[in-house]
Amino acid sequence: MEDRPRILICDDEPLMTASTKAVLDHGNYQVKITNSSRHALTLIHAESPDLVILDVMMPEMTGFELLDAVDRECCDAAFIIVTGEASVDSAIKAIRKGASDYLRKPFEPDELIIRVENVLRQRQMKKENVCVLAEKRQLENQLRQSQKMEAIGTLAGGIAHDFNNVLSIILGNAELALADMPSENPAHLNLERILTASLRAREMIQQLLSFSRKEESGCKPLRLNGVITDSLKLMRASLPTNISIERDICTTECISIADATQIHQIMLNLCTNAAHAMEPGGGVLTIRLDPVTLDSAAAADSGLSPGRYARLVVADTGHGIEKDIIDRIFDPYFTTKETGKGTGMGLSVVHGIIKGYGGAIRAFSRPGRFTEFHLYLPKMDAIVEAEPAIFNQPKMTGGHEHILIVDDEEMLVDMMRQVLEQLGYKVSAYSDSAEALREFLGCPRLYDLLITDMTMPGMTGTGLAKAVKAVRNNLPIILCTGYNEQISQENAQSLGIQSLIMKPVGMQQLAETIRSVLMPVSAERRKTPRFGAPAGTFVISRTYPYERFSLVDIGVSGLAYRHEMESVPGHPSDQLAIMTPDGEIFVNGIRCKNVVDIPADSSIPGFPLPEAGQARRGVRFEGLTTLQTELIDQFIRNYATQRLP
Q: Is residue 363 domain-resident?
A: yes
The answer to whether residues 506 and 634 belong to one domain is no
Q: Is residue 248 domain-resident?
A: yes
Neighbours of 587 (CB within 10 A): 20
pLDDT tens by residue, 253-284 = 899 988 887 888 899 889 988 998 898 888 99
Confidence of residue 1 (pLDDT cuts 50, 70, 90): very low
CA atoms of 9 and 82, how far apart (whole Å): 10
The answer to whether residues 497 and 542 belong to one domain is no
- What are the beta bridge partners of residue 104? 83
Instruction: Answer with the one of 343, 378, 413 that is the final residue of a domain.
Output: 378
Residues 6+ apart with CB under 8 A from 15: none
- Please give the pLDDT value at position 148: 66
- Please give the pLDDT value at position 322: 86
Residues 6+ apart with CB under 8 A from 301: none
Instruction: Answer with the one of 494, 519, 544 that is the final residue of a domain.
Output: 519
Domain encompassing residue 610: 528-644
The answer to whether residues 223 and 361 belong to one domain is yes
Q: Mean pLDDT in the chain?
A: 81
Residue 621 reports pLDDT greater than 80: yes
> What is the residue type of 456?
M
The answer to whether residues 346 and 260 belong to one domain is yes
The mean pLDDT value for 187-197 works out to: 83
pLDDT tens by residue, 201-248 = 777 676 666 555 545 556 788 889 988 988 887 777 778 889 999 999
The answer to whether residues 334 and 479 belong to one domain is no
- Please give the pLDDT value at position 124: 85
- Please give the pLDDT value at position 572: 65
The answer to whether residues 221 and 335 belong to one domain is yes
pLDDT tens by residue, 318-336 = 988 888 888 888 876 666 6
Instruction: Answer with the one of 344, 378, 412 that is the final residue of a domain.
Output: 378
CA atoms of 628 and 590, how far apart (whole Å): 7
272: CATH: 3.30.565.10
- Please give the pLDDT value at position 525: 46
CB 274 within 8 A of CB 320: no
- Please give the pLDDT value at position 283: 93
What is the DSSP secondary-structure string of 482-531? Answer: S--TT--HHHHHHTT--EEEESS--HHHHHHHHHHHHHHHHGGGGGS-EE
What is the count of structural domains for the chain? 4
Q: How far is CA 415 from CA 163, 171, 183, 195, in A?
A: 16, 10, 22, 15
User: Element (H or E) spanning 42, and its range?
Assistant: helix 37-47
The answer to whether residues 606 and 468 belong to one domain is no
The answer to whether residues 221 and 353 belong to one domain is yes
The answer to whether residues 512 and 638 belong to one domain is no
Q: Is residue 137 domain-resident?
A: no
The answer to whether residues 252 and 364 belong to one domain is yes
Confidence of residue 314 (pLDDT cuts 50, 70, 90): very high
User: Element (H or E) spanning 171, and its range?
Assistant: helix 109-179
Confidence of residue 604 (pLDDT cuts 50, 70, 90): very low
Q: Report CA dihedral (411, 416, 421, 427) to the nearest 10 degrees.
A: -90
- Please give the pLDDT value at position 145: 63
Q: Is residue 156 domain-resident?
A: no
pLDDT tens by residue, 67-79 = 888 887 777 888 9
468: CATH: 3.40.50.2300
Q: Is residue 140 domain-resident?
A: no
- Please give the pLDDT value at position 284: 93
Q: Of 98-102, 138-142, 334-338, 599-603, which gets the smallest average pLDDT?
A: 599-603
**More confident call, 109 vs 156:** 109
Q: Considering only CA atoms, which of 351, 277, 349, 354 is closest in space to residue 317?
A: 277
Q: Is residue 534 domain-resident?
A: yes
Q: Is residue 132 domain-resident?
A: no
pLDDT tens by residue, 503-523 = 777 777 788 888 878 875 544
- Please give the pLDDT value at position 149: 61
The answer to whether residues 402 and 509 belong to one domain is yes
Q: Is residue 196 domain-resident?
A: no
Confidence of residue 489 (pLDDT cuts 50, 70, 90): low
- Please give the pLDDT value at position 599: 63
Residue 571 reports pLDDT greater than 70: no
Q: How far is CA 496 from CA 9, 183, 443, 468, 478, in A?
A: 86, 42, 20, 10, 10
CB 4 within 8 A of CB 29: yes
Residues 6+ apart with CB under 8 A from 624: 590, 591, 632
Residue 605 reports pLDDT greater than 50: no
The mean pLDDT value for 352-359 works out to: 89
CA atoms of 402 and 426, how far apart (whole Å): 5
The answer to whether residues 632 and 593 belong to one domain is yes
The mean pLDDT value for 1-7 works out to: 76
Q: Of 78-87, 392-401, 580-589, which gets the smallest average pLDDT?
A: 392-401
Confidence of residue 2 (pLDDT cuts 50, 70, 90): low
Give 333's Cβ-side CA count (13 Å radius): 5
